[in-house]
Chains A and B, each alone.
Chain A
Amino acid sequence: MEYDIILAGVGGQGILSIAFVIDQAALEAGLFFKQAEVHGMSQRGGAVQSHLRLADSAIYSDLIPRGKADMILSVEPLETLRYFEYLKPDGAVVSSRTPYVNIPDYPPLDDIFREIRKAPVNVLIDSEKLAKEAGSLRAQNMVMLGAASIFLPLKEEHLKKYIGVLFEKRGAQVVQTNLKAFDLGRQAAFQKD
């Protein structure tokens, strides 16, 4: 089994938190993983991406070859499109509908959605609305992880366990908010089909 994921978003949206939860859940399931991160200058409000590879045998490359990703998981719709060339022809796109507009030439949203819908498997999630419902706008990353979880070769209970671990230090309230965000994202992804 191999499962390759491109994580995408804008610096500060918490894609490394998504990666942490998936990494730990994979380890708990006895899988191998490699995860290439972005640090430094690119984090300042710029486009960020992480290549996350899961497998049941040793993984060589830290980077996913073009046309081999099983999933693009993105917290921002324009960023989803930036990595389309990495997706397998039958790969899944799990993308937020909530734009992060910090550039003057941000394209019309409808054009972005039209392009995303060209992927044979695509799930567009209103992460802003669901995160607000869960109790914090900052939890959009966990909404998206919840939505992606219906495709991931990982157990829901393992993912939730490490959401708990990730937010433990910030208190029980923050943990609850993020778990609820995960649940709402997961439900929304199921309802879509």
Chain B
Amino acid sequence: MKKEVLLGDEAVALAAVQAGLTAGYSYPGTPASEIMEYLIKLSEGGRKFVAKWCVNEKVACEEALGVSFAGKRALVSFKHVGLNVAADPFINSAITGANGGLVVVVADDPGMHSSQDEQDSRYYADFARVLCLEPANHQEAYDMTREAFDLSERFGLPVMVRLVTRLAHSRSSVLVREPRQPNQGLNYGRPEDWTLLPANAQRRFRILLERQKDLKEYAEGSPFNQLFINDQNKKLGVVVSGLGYNYFKEAAIDLAVEPSSLKISTYPFPENKLRQLIEQVEEILVIEEGYPFIERLIRGVVGITGKKIRGKMDGSLPSSGELTPDAVAKALGLDEKKGLKIENFKLAGRPPQLCVGCPHADTFKALNEALKDFPHSNVFSDIGCYTLGALPPYKAISTCVCMGASVSMAKGGAEAGIFPSIAVIGDSTFAHSGITPLLDAVYSNSDMTVIILDNGTVAMTGGQPSFGTGAPLDRLIEGLGVDKNHLRVIIPLPKNHELNVKIIREELAYHGLSVIIARRECIQILGEKKRS
């Protein structure tokens, strides 16, 4: 056993490698990016496994499924909204089943530190009817990820590991065990299991349903689910999962009598253990990170006669945002601790902003100038650093919904009568989900302008490689059928401002599909290159 200092994300990556990983796939997204960053770093250390960024999460999930089909162990990781993109292969992988161990790591972002929603991935695991493991700390992140591969092969199903931001991006020490060798040789999946024609799919779905009792049995006996009965406290019992456990234990130090508790770390959760706890106490407090997933199941429609159930649904804990030690302490009846107060002083906010010298800033300045001639325009945008163009001084964009939506929404907007209808999207986001809607726009010769901000990298998440940049991006767009005369390239620099305004103005005025590529390298990446 050896101690290593790791981020939660890194503990997952190291565990996967030591569980005998053959291949890992991902698309960058906070707070999951560091899983693949670390896998790549480990793969450069001479270990023999594949660690690759992919064009999007769906592709990543399918590549992992191909590895599993071949009888090898695969990891796919992404942020919670990435699972929406990968939902199709994820749900269907429960029907095909896993051949080699298949572990899907999803990092949720309660509090939306860097996200558009705070959806809870445990619902996806429940929906797909697969096991979900939820670690509370770094050691569990490591141990559960290793266990997840064994469980996947034992039950022949993918297994989800659910992280949240505070664990993904918290650093602590972890005891690591001896590595296991990767699965040897190829072991193909059976065609009748993996070809989801209706007859096969119906049979496979019945198998999945039958397997649910095995999953429940496992959850009941799993050492990760810890029941603690304190006969001295018949009043309160606490049901707790994930990081909620840490905040509960922190607060419990200050409680006169520690409540009985059930720590839930696997789903489907251990129903018998839960019943044992409920029988002991008058009142249940459910503490969980994300949606009230456990609380809703316990509560049901009519509740439990004679028992009070508290949690996010009755306001004992906040129903949005991430849990905090303070909120949990308050729910446990402890007095709020007070820190120093600042009075009669206005604390100015400091929101994130585009870097000094950022190419996006020059593009937004030119776009805003060109738009002065078009009072009824609308700029649909997308996900990346350039979403900060929504803030002053630019105030240049009016939408950001999901990856690639700028292009499709601009088409819909144009068809509803908006002119000019404009999409602003980064090069990597375009590769991820912008190509298909652009093909749609070509087919309809939509009256819209797409501006691709080509800075050559996935900048917001720390500079991962972009799959659609430079000359290949130009050829791709031409290949989709965009008219060459309306495919323009500008270099967003202050000295080119007048020229760029002129080009943008021309294309906005054109009735038909235009694509403008604003091409200049990310200032951060340029800086790193100069330093090294």
Q: Which residues of A contact B342 (CB under 8 A)?
A: 81, 84, 115, 118
Q: Which residues of A contact B3 (CB under 8 A)?
A: 27
A103 touching B339 by the CB < 8 A rule? no
Q: Which residues of B contact A59 (CB under 8 A)?
A: 172
Closest chain A residue to B249 by CB distance? Answer: A60
Residues of chain B touching chain A, judged by Cβ–Cβ distance below 8 Å, are: 3, 5, 7, 30-31, 33-34, 113-114, 166-167, 169-173, 243, 245-247, 249-250, 324-326, 329, 336-342, 345-355, 385, 388, 460-462
Q: Which residues of B contact A66 (CB under 8 A)?
A: 326, 336-339
Known: A34-B172, A39-B34, A105-B346. 5 other contacts (CB 8 A): A27-B3, A62-B170, A82-B347, A102-B350, A112-B345
B326 touching A40 by the CB < 8 A rule? no
A130 to B348, CA, bound (A): 27
User: What string of 1s and 0s marks CB contacts (under 8 Å) between A106-147 and chain B?
Assistant: 110001100100110000000000000000000000000000
Closest chain A residue to B254 by CB distance? Answer: A65
Q: Which residues of B contact A81 (CB under 8 A)?
A: 342, 345, 347
Residue count of chain A within 8 Å CB distance of chain B: 54
Residues of chain A touching chain B, judged by Cβ–Cβ distance below 8 Å, are: 10-11, 19, 23-24, 27, 32-47, 59-69, 78-79, 81-82, 84-89, 91, 102-103, 105-107, 111-112, 115, 118-119
Other-chain contact of B243, A41, A62, A65 (Cβ < 8 Å):
A62
Closest chain A residue to B247 by CB distance? Answer: A61
Nearest chain A CB to B287 CB, angstrom units? 12
A60 touching B349 by the CB < 8 A rule? no
Other-chain contact of B337, A33, A47, A67, A115 (Cβ < 8 Å):
A67
Nearest chain B CB to A172 CB, angstrom units? 17
A11 to B351, CA, bound (A): 10
7 interchain pairs (CB within 8 A)? A33-B171, A40-B114, A41-B460, A46-B352, A63-B247, A84-B339, A91-B340
A107 touching B348 by the CB < 8 A rule? yes
Nearest chain A CB to B93 CB, angstrom units? 28
Closest chain B residue to A6 by CB distance? Answer: B339
B329 touching A65 by the CB < 8 A rule? yes
B325 touching A61 by the CB < 8 A rule? yes
Closest chain B residue to A107 by CB distance? Answer: B348
A40 touching B170 by the CB < 8 A rule? no
Q: Which residues of A contact B461 (CB under 8 A)?
A: 40
Which of B169, B246, B352, B354 is the most central at the interface, judged by chain A CB atoms within 10 Å of its CB? Answer: B352
A79 to B347, CA, bound (A): 9
A62 touching B348 by the CB < 8 A rule? no
Q: Which residues of A contact B346 (CB under 8 A)?
A: 105, 107
Q: Which residues of A contact B347 (CB under 8 A)?
A: 78, 81-82, 107
Given contacts A24-B5, A35-B171, A44-B352, whether A87 and B340 have CB atoms under 8 Å apart is yes
B172 touching A85 by the CB < 8 A rule? no
A78 to B247, CA, bound (A): 29
Given contacts A39-B30, A41-B460, A63-B325, whether A11 and B352 have CB atoms under 8 Å apart is yes
Q: Which residues of B contact A111 (CB under 8 A)?
A: 345
A47 to B351, CA, bound (A): 7
Which of A36, A44, A66, A115 is the most central at the interface, judged by chain B CB atoms within 10 Å of its CB? Answer: A44
A67 to B341, CA, bound (A): 10
Closest chain B residue to A24 by CB distance? Answer: B5
